[in-house]
Every structure is written in structure tokens, then in C-alpha cells.
Amino acid sequence: MDDNLIDLDSMLSQVGDFGRAQIILMVLFSFINILSAFHYFGQTFISIVPKHTCNYEICCDRNVTINSCDVVYLQNNDTHISEPCVSGWKYNNTQSFGFIGIIQELNWVCNDDWKPALGQSVFFIGSVIGSLVLGVIADIIGRLHVLVIANSLAFVGNISTILSKDVATFAISRFLAGLATDTNFFMMYIIVMEYMRPSHRTLGLNLCIGIFYSLACVIVPWTAVLLKTWKNFLIFVSVPHLLVIFFYLIVPESAQWLISKGKTERAINCFKQIAKINGRHVDDKAYENLREYCKQYVNASEQHESLWGLLKTPKLRKKTLILIFKSMVMTLAYDAISRNINGLDYSPFVIFSVGSTTIFPACLFILAVQDRVGRKALASSFLLFTGIFTVCSGIIQALVSNPSPPLIITLEVIARLAITVAYNSGAQYAVELIPAVVRGQGVSAIHVTGYAASFFSPQILYLAQIWQPAPGIILGVLLTLGAAACLFLPETLNRTLPVTLRDGEEFGEDEGIFEFACCRVTTESTATLYRSDAS
């Protein structure tokens, strides 16, 4: 590359890559983290199933017993006849601390218990469709527009849920709310990452996630308790999403996306906005050098590339398929490990809060370690560590008869902490490796495949009824394969991220399988992209 030309990271360093503008973006990203946590996990608590019994007055008749759904009559010949409850239900809200969800209000229990389950399912379907469709749209109209669209969908879906009095309205509303999931978070994630100094990306992103997403997850159930009913809770969750429209006044569009689409002048205006906020004066010559860089290295034919562009060339195809496989393994393991606390008669509100506390230390660990050892070493080692641990924990539970609940909880919390490190580290890795020209739809597709794989987690856990160690061994083997696959990915630490598909094809191709950032003798603050036409 001509020494007079300026690439994106060099331009960013001139306008300020960790100043007031980045602090503002981090604050707004923290706000998005809170919105995302309440939106995603709020649907769990509005559908909480309280303990219930049939509202049948037994009085002095000792030949009648009641349970959750039936009235059981004992006949003179010692036979039992069960009849469905028709007199309503009594609810015990002790474990939910008095919170009244939609299930209790609409009596969606027993024969109607499929209704809230349907709502949960269509929310998930909506998240899959929304991630794919909005990811494609993001690569057409921009990250900022789709960020606002996704949060608007979250508002509409949650508010319309409040009006639900039948299962059809409820299902449609949850589908609309599900469309926003992931996109309402990852578009801002991408923008913040691209405007952050490469060496500070881990700091900025994980600090926001570790503090604010973790805190929001911990307080979600107690906010519901404080607001008493599911309708009040959904209003509280929904209204703040409208504030995201004001991001247009503060948040710049992704400069990498603009340049990848040939909109160099708009990208330069974004850099000027960053420079103004950071109090930097940048010579016009620098912007002219950026224009020349874009003319020489951004191929006009790639400005309308689709997701399939990731699969056209062999090297980029290999990286993309590895990222997809890694996402499937991580998401499946994360979901299975999170589900695998059972047989304990504790409040789901308490269990959820305790489990959520693992997010913060996991992010702190990533913050302290990832920029020292690199993305590849951390992702691979913690996938392997989680795999070994799940195998060992499965065998321990099989060999130890009647393990104490504290032991089970300890094993599960450690497992969740380990997989959270792998999952959060892997998410950043994928965003950095996918070229900017298709980053929106590429990242969305990778996450969708992870969602699809999580469908198998209940079936894997069910195998424990056949052989106790089976889930741990299956997950352990998959996680080990995922760790091995990571070794074939290039390191992204302190490197200029790929913008075009050509960049993605040649990125890191000079690396060895066992070459890690922590083992390098020297580390460049900003490495040069490897290009097929480089001299």
C-alpha cells in the first residue's frame, strides 16, 4: 500500500480512537445492553407458571382429592376417577414473590398450558427470522437504521402483547417482539467496535456487557416483582426502546459499511463528527488520502455483495464454516448448561439471578486476558476447558450417589462461567473476522445457526435418563471439536479488520495453526491487511 494513503484504522487514530466520542458510544451501548436484557428475558417472566391447584371445596368429603389440574374421586370399590377442574384455580405466588403473570391472569394452565408455550416458540421463531432478514437489511441500508428499526419492533411487540386476551393475538405479538432479538443489540455492538481503537475493543465492549448486561439480568425478576403485574412490567420494558430513535442525533453510521458500499464522502463526514467530539483537528490532506485509499482498495463490484459471497472463495469459505460450527457448539452448550439445573425446589426468580451473576466475572476475565493472549487462544482454550469440565461433571454425578444440592449448584455455576467466557469471546471473534461489506448479514447468519443448534439441547439432556453421563460426554466431545476448529482461524488482535471479501479471503493466511498472539515476540499496534495484490 502507498505510504501516503490512509486506511480506516489510521484515519480513526487521527480523529481519536478512544476519546469523548468513544465514551459516549460506550454509554449508549450500555443502555442498549439494559434494553436487550429486559426485552429477551422479560418474556420468560411474563409467562412464569405459578404453583396452582383446582379451586374445589373439599369440605368434609374425604373421598375427594385435588391436584393442579384434576379432581380425583375415590369410589366404593377403591377405584379412582379423575375429572378435569372446571371451577378455576387457586394460585400460590410465594416463589414468584407475589408477581402475577399472564398465565395466572388468563388461567392458561392444565389443558391451556400450550398457549404460553406457543408464545415462547413463536418468539424464538421470530428471533431467527428477524436476525436473518434484518441482517440482510443492515448491509443494504446501514447499521444505524436497522438498530432503530429493531428496537421499534421490540416496542410494538411488547405493547401489543399487553392487549392480548386470546392465544392468536399473544402469538402474533410475541413473534413481532422476537423479530427484534439480537439485532437490537448487535448493530450497536458493531458500530462501537468499529469506532474503537483495536487494542481497546475488548475493554470497551466487555466493560459495557459485563457491568450493564449482567446487572440488568440480575434485576429483571425483581423489577417484575416490584411492578407486581405482567402488564406493568411490559410497559416498563417497552417504553425505553423509543429513546433509541434519538441515536440518530449522536451515533454515526458505520464508516466501514459506508466505505464498503462506495459512500466514501458520508464515511468522511462520520470521521469528521468523531474528530469534532474528540476535539481533534485533522488536516484535509488526511481525508484526501483516505479517499485515494478507498479508490484503490475498495472494489466497486463488491458493494452489493450478499451473504453467499462468504462461501465463494476457498479460504473465506473455510473461515465462515468454522465460525458457523463454533457458534452452533457454543450456543448448544450454553443453552444445555443453563437448563441443567433441576430437581431443586427453589424460586426461579432466585435461581435466575444467581445464574446471571456469572456474566460479570466472565467479562472481567475476558477484559483482563483476551488482549494479552489473543482471540484464538482464549476461544479455543475455554471451549476445551468447558468440554473437559462437562465430561468430568457428568461422570462425577454418575458415580456419586445422591450428590448434595450445593455440589450440583457449584458444578453448574462453574460450567456456566466457563461457557460464558467462551461464548462472549467467540461473539467478538466472529464480528471481527467477517468482512464489513457483509458483516451485518454474516454475523446474523452465524447467530441463527447457533439458535438452530440449541433446539437439540433438551434432547441431549433427556439422554441422562438413559445414561447419566451421556449429556456431559456428548457436550464435551462437541466442545473439544469446537476448540480444535478454532485453531484454524486467524488471530484478529490489533489487526485492521477486513472490509471487502478480498480482504477476508487473504486475512491471516500467513499464520500457523498453533501460532498465538501471546507467543509473538513483537506485536504491532495496527497490522496491515494481507491482500492478494499486495506487493
Question: Which is more confident, 291 or 517?
Answer: 291
pLDDT value for 340: 60
272, 278 Cβ separation under 8 angstroms: no
Least confident of 23-37, 310-324, 335-349, 445-459: 335-349
Residue 75 clears pLDDT 70, i.e. is over it: no
Residue 363 clears pLDDT 80, i.e. is over it: yes
Mean pLDDT confidence for 65-78: 69
Number of H helices, E strands in the chain: 22, 5
pLDDT value for 403: 62
pLDDT value for 282: 92
**What is the C-alpha to C-alpha distance for residues 331 and 478, in angstroms, rounded to an integer?**
11
| 27-46 pLDDT tens trace | 999 999 999 999 988 888 88
pLDDT value for 42: 87
**What is the C-alpha to C-alpha distance for residues 234 and 179, in angstroms, rounded to an integer?**
17
| 102-111 pLDDT tens trace | 888 888 888 8
User: Bridge partners of 207?
Assistant: none
Residue 529 clears pLDDT 50, i.e. is over it: no
Residue 444 clears pLDDT 60, i.e. is over it: yes
Task: Name the one residue in this structure whose C-alpha cell is 436497522.
Answer: 146
Going along the chain from its start, the domains and CATH numbers come out as 1-50+93-297 (1.20.1250.20), 299-535 (1.20.1250.20)
Q: Which residues contact 311 (CB under 8 A, 6 or more apart)?
A: 317, 320
Least confident of 60-74, 114-128, 245-259, 445-459: 60-74
16, 274 Cβ separation under 8 angstroms: yes
**What is the C-alpha to C-alpha distance for residues 277 and 280, in angstroms, rounded to an integer?**
8
Residue 217 identity? C
DSSP 239: G
pLDDT class of 436 with cuts at 50, 70, 90: confident
User: Bridge partners of 64?
Assistant: 73
Least confident of 374-378, 436-440, 513-517, 530-534: 530-534
Least confident of 186-195, 210-219, 307-316, 387-396: 387-396
Residue 292 clears pLDDT 70, i.e. is over it: yes
pLDDT class of 522 with cuts at 50, 70, 90: very low
Task: Name the one residue in this structure whose C-alpha cell is 476448529.
Answer: 485
Overall residue count recorded for the chain in this entry: 535
Q: CA-CA-CA-CA torsion for 523, 526, 532, 533, nearest 10 degrees?
A: -120
Single out the residue of 332, 252, 328, 264 nearest to residue 293, CA to CA: 264
Q: Which three cell numbers stand for residue 21?
A: 466520542
Least confident of 44-53, 141-150, 166-175, 346-355: 346-355
Report percent pLDDT > 90 for the chain: 32
DSSP 518: G
**What is the C-alpha to C-alpha distance for residues 148 and 151, in angstroms, rounded to an integer?**
5
Least confident of 154-168, 194-208, 274-288: 194-208
Single out the residue of 415, 381, 449 nearest to residue 182, CA to CA: 449
Single out the residue of 351, 328, 153, 127 nearest to residue 244, CA to CA: 153
pLDDT value for 346: 67
